[in-house]
């Protein structure tokens, strides 16, 4: 389509729709007409309450004041995720957002740690990560001299409302209603217009599908197709419930493995978000509900609800003049809090490749290729957690431990096991620090390490590690308690 794109129609609200509207209206409002169609009758998933650090970059792009945002969403800070029962029952480790140790241009820190472990002079891997130790101590500060790498726990429903206010202030028009019919061009198949149940017809040049798992435009209309990943990520259900807080909010998400999956615990200022992720082949919805309600603390604030999903991705994220953003583009389960990040990065990519002069095949292909690689890299990181379990105490965990995995992940694991080499691929979200924290946390130990480390004497290596530990402990001791900092910084 060579027609200039001047009229953007976003179908669906929620986090995805309003993130798209907020960003596009903030940067392109003088150039585009932006319309968002949203039905008050259609509920949103609204449980994506944990985020990762790149969200702060997105907020800077939108000139969002952190304290204002956190008050509006009753947010708390997040330094990482505490994983419990993943390697074996009783195990605990933290995937923290910070750097572990200090690296050299030739050898990553974990090689020095492996040698020190062999010599009997190393402490737990997380001892050498500031964010890890701050999380364990329930401490936090945004002061620049501490330079913590952090994200947020937030109320996703309130976040959508916050972004809606921003978007409408920048000229986005919200139309309430349900789409009754989609009209396509008879020759090209491009979407021309939408007719609402009210009879109103809305025309557009570019349509953004934020209709969730349904994929009203990308799938029901354009029949794009879906690539199923459930053989690698077998969980296909989640039950979510909110509870009253029973104590101070901690600066990390908890991910607690159970017999047929895992459950989350996300502390906000005003409540706690809880959920159980499971595989319906091994656990019924009723039993999952019972398991969740028996495990939560505090009075429940809503009725638990079941969310059905299928892990995988659309075969094209951008098809003709429709771009799928959010759950309509695919879904990787929420284990590492990547759902909101995938929305954010898709919106950013669309803005970078925005088809002002018409939709070109080269733009569409570039967008889809980057999206494909990005989703596959995230998929591999999530599958890593399941594959490297040592558990075979239930049929679910036995399946995960012994299942076939993507060749890309198999290569990584073999490389790490044989040589200790870990890497971050071009454009990949999760850094070496993330991969090593999870692999060591689940006791995947390499057979060898880089011999560069042997150029350092045992005494120097011991002093090096001791210095790192002392500096981190000194910094943590100076941090205020997380709950106290939140109270003074952004309490509602």
Helices (H), 335-481: 339-352, 361-387, 395-402, 407-419, 432-441, 458-478
Intra-chain end-to-end CA distance of the chain, in Å: 48
From the number of C-beta atoms within 10 Å of its C-beta (0-12, 13-18, 19+), residue 343 rates as buried
- Residues 75 and 60: their CA atoms lie apart, in Å, by 17
One-character DSSP codes across 58-89: HHHHTT--HHHHHHHHT-EEE-EEEEESSSST
Name the active-site residue from 26, 78, 136, 320: 78
Closest CA to 301 of 260, 258, 267, 271: 271
* CA-based radius of gyration for the chain: 23
Rounded to 5 degrees, φ, ψ at 403 are -75, 155
- Residues 376 and 64: their CA atoms lie apart, in Å, by 30
Q: Give me the domains of the chain, ranges plus CATH numbers.
A: 7-76+153-230+311-377 (3.50.50.60), 237-308 (no CATH)
Residue 201 to residues 175, 182, 192, 303: CA-CA distances in angstroms? 11, 10, 10, 37
* Tens-digit pLDDT string for the chain (492 aa): 668 999 999 999 999 999 999 999 999 988 999 999 999 876 665 565 899 999 999 999 999 999 999 999 999 999 999 999 999 999 999 999 999 998 776 779 999 999 999 999 999 999 999 999 999 999 999 999 999 999 999 999 999 999 999 999 999 999 999 999 999 999 999 999 999 999 999 999 999 999 999 999 999 999 999 999 999 999 999 999 999 999 999 999 999 999 999 999 999 999 999 999 999 999 999 999 999 999 999 999 999 999 999 999 999 999 999 999 999 999 999 999 999 999 999 999 999 999 999 999 999 999 999 999 999 999 999 999 999 999 999 999 999 999 999 999 999 999 999 999 999 998 899 999 999 999 999 999 999 999 999 999 999 999 999 999 999 999 999 999 999 999 999 987
Q: How confident is the model at residue 105, as a pLDDT? A: 63
Residue 16 to residues 32, 74, 442, 449: CA-CA distances in angstroms? 19, 19, 33, 43
Please, which residues have CB within 8 angstroms of residue 168's CB and are 6 or more apart in sequence?
174
- Residues 80 and 29: their CA atoms lie apart, in Å, by 36
From the number of C-beta atoms within 10 Å of its C-beta (0-12, 13-18, 19+), residue 447 rates as exposed
- Residues 94 and 308: their CA atoms lie apart, in Å, by 28
Is the sign of the CA dihedral 195, 200, 205, 207 positive or negative? negative
- Residues 159 and 155: their CA atoms lie apart, in Å, by 6
HSE, CB side, 13 Å, CA atoms: give it for residue 375: 27
Closest CA to 374 of 311, 432, 430: 430
- Segment (H or E) for 313: strand 312-314
Is the sign of the CA dihedral 112, 115, 121, 122 positive or negative? positive
CB-based contact 150:81 (threshold 8 Å): no
- Residues 329 and 349: their CA atoms lie apart, in Å, by 14
CB atoms within 10 A of CB 255: 24
Give me the residues paired with residue 237 across strands.
Answer: 278, 308
Q: Which two tokens stand for residue 344?
A: 């954010």
- Residues 414 and 491: their CA atoms lie apart, in Å, by 47
CB-based contact 434:378 (threshold 8 Å): no
Helices (H), 151-284: 156-169
Residue 29 to residues 22, 168, 173, 203, 327: CA-CA distances in angstroms? 10, 11, 11, 18, 25
Q: Which two tokens stand for residue 79?
A: 């330094």
Q: Is 78 annotated in the active site? A: yes
Q: How confident is the model at residue 235, as a pLDDT? A: 98
Please, which residues have CB within 8 angstroms of residue 3's CB and are 6 or more apart in sequence?
205, 358
> How does DSSP classify residue 139?
B
Rounded to 5 degrees, φ, ψ at 355 are -85, 60
């Amino acid at each position: 389509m060579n027609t200039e794109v001047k009229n953007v129609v976003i179908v669906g609200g929620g986090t995805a729709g309003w993130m798209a509207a907020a960003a596009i209206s903030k940067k392109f409002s003088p150039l585009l007409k932006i319309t968002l169609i949203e039905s008050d009758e259609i509920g949103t998933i609204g449980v994506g309450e944990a985020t990762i650090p790149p969200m702060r970059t997105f907020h800077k792009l939108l000139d969002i004041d952190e304290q204002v945002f956190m008050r509006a969403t009753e947010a708390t800070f997040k330094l990482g995720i505490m994983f419990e029962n993943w390697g074996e029952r009783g195990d605990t480790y933290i995937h923290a957002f910070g750097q572990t140790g200090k690296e050299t241009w030739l050898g990553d820190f974990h090689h020095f740690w492996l040698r020190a472990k062999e010599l009997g002079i190393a402490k737990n891997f997380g001892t050498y990560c500031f964010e890890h130790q701050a999380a364990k101590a329930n401490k936090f500060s945004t002061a620049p001299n501490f330079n913590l790498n952090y994200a947020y726990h937030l109320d996703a429903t309130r976040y959508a409302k916050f972004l809606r206010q921003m978007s409408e202030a920048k000229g986005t028009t919200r139309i309430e209603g349900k789409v009754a019919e989609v009209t396509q061009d008879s020759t090209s198949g491009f979407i021309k217009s939408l007719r609402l149940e009210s009879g109103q017809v809305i025309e557009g040049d570019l349509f953004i599908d934020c209709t969730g798992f349904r994929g009203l435009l990308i799938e029901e209309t354009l029949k794009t197709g879906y690539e199923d990943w459930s053989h690698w990520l077998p969980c296909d259900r989640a039950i979510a419930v909110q509870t009253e807080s029973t104590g101070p909010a901690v600066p990390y998400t908890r991910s607690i493995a159970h017999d047929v999956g895992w459950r989350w615990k996300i502390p906000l200022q005003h409540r706690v978000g809880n959920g159980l992720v499971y595989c319906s082949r091994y656990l019924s919805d009723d039993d999952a509900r019972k398991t969740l309600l028996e495990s939560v603390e505090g009075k429940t604030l809503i009725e638990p609800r079941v969310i059905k999903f299928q892990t995988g991705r659309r075969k094209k994220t951008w098809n003709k003049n429709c771009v799928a953003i959010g759950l309509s583009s695919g879904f990787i389960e929420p284990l590492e809090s990547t759902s909101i990040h995938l929305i954010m990065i898709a919106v950013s990519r669309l803005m970078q490749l925005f088809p002002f002069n018409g939709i070109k095949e080269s733009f569409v292909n570039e967008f889809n290729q980057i999206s494909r690689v990005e989703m596959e890299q995230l998929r591999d990181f999530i599958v890593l957690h399941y594959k490297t379990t040592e558990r075979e105490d239930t049929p679910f965990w036995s399946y995960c431990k012994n299942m076939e995995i993507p060749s890309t992940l198999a290569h990584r694991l073999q490389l790490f096991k044989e040589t200790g080499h870990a890497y971050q691929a071009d454009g990949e979200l999760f850094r070496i620090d993330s991969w090593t924290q999870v692999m060591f946390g689940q006791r995947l130990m390499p057979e060898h390490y880089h011999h560069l480390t042997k150029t350092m004497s045992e005494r120097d290596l011991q002093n090096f590690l001791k210095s790192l530990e002392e500096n981190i402990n000194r910094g943590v001791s100076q941090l205020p308690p997380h709950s106290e900092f939140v109270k003074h910084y952004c309490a509602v």
